[in-house]
Amino acid sequence: MVRIAAASFAGTSIEFYDFFVYGTAAALVLGPLFFPDFSPIAGTLAAFATYAVGFVSRPLGSVLFGRLGDRRGRRPVLVGSLLLTGIATVLVGLLPTYDRIGPAAPILLVLLRFCQGLGVGGEWGGAVLLAAEHAPPGRRALWGSFPQAGPAIGFLLANGIMLTLSGALSDAQFQSWGWRVPFLFAGVLAAGGLLLRASIEETPAFVELAAANGLSASPFTEVVRGHWRLILLVAGALTCGYVGFYLTTTWSLHYATDKLAVGRTTMLACIMVAVVGKAVATPLFALLGDRYGRKPLCVAGCAAMGLWAFPMLGLLATGEPVCMTLACLGTLIAFITMFSVVGTYLSELFEPRVRCTGASTAYNLGGVFGGALTPIVATELARGEGTPWSVAAYLAAAAVLSVACFTALPETRAVPAWEGQPATA
């Protein structure tokens, strides 16, 4: 289990490193480099729009890689998704800017971001099922939380490199070539991840299904027909988490540097401290999920995020590093209260024969609802002067929606032998 958890953890760390390094670059430099004819605010919005493309393509990646996972096994998903995301990220680092190739630059940027999203959309389901389907029944949430801790490490690595470069280079050097270094480093990480995953065994649940000729002929069709209500409920339930996470890790960076005149190095450091707290708390909340159930933690996390929304904005608007760190930490602790158990929860909600497609599609559709538009919407809401309390209202409204959706979902802690919920759930 340690070897399996390490492989799933490392894979999601690498995949989300690729995904997050783009978001940080979009907040800091991509606007003027790829959309120079726009005003500063319009250029940032355009960069965030290309950022959103990665979320839109994630459900498609779930369908493509989900079929592979439900028909051929979870292992091929882990290799294919990591390879696709790694190549796309390296190519972003090599991409000429607008002043070199004109409109082709933003077009290629969007295409590569789309490919990033495809890979990440497939990665999550394969990594979570690899850990959760190997885990003993009483510790499924704990072992299933390791892939959920991976994004935190990916974020720390991406922003740590950005922070180092930002502090070591002048603004001119950073905009000229420094921003490319984290994208190119993704190739090294992808190669290491592929080596680590080469010896991982297939999960027992899939082996049993294949031996019994129980594989689905068309997983996506079966999921849509039998689980459409479940998918929509899960996507709505996860919306709040995505809104809170990307407000904290992406939009706040732009808001602090642009509106509050906080140095990008300072704000990156504040966010990274909060993400460390989130990473440390992940297995602790997962243990609570094994003891008390998945649903109670999810509801508590959503409610906490909604209640913290206005204090978070107030603290962030002070521009003081300690207060901004506390603002980010509170949101991310509420976030991980629910997301520490989400991987296992979603796996238990779907039958093994369509589990990779169903869990991945629901998870990434929630990303479209909550993550894709959050930086764009928040940037628009914060256009005026003063503290943008409407951004806090946006997060609070998402929390209400998610609590309502979680209330309609069943508890799964007692689901035996990885049977999953019936198709009518």
Per-residue exposure over 339-372, b if at least 16 CB sit within 10 Å of its own CB, e if not: bbbbbbbbbbbbbbbbbbbbbbbbbbbbbbbbbb
pLDDT along the chain (425 residues), means of 10: 77 78 77 76 70 80 86 83 88 90 87 86 79 80 84 84 83 86 88 78 79 84 89 94 90 87 87 91 92 94 96 94 96 94 89 86 86 84 87 95 95 65 42
pLDDT at site 51: 67
CA–CA dist 393, 398 (Å, integer) = 9
pLDDT at site 126: 78
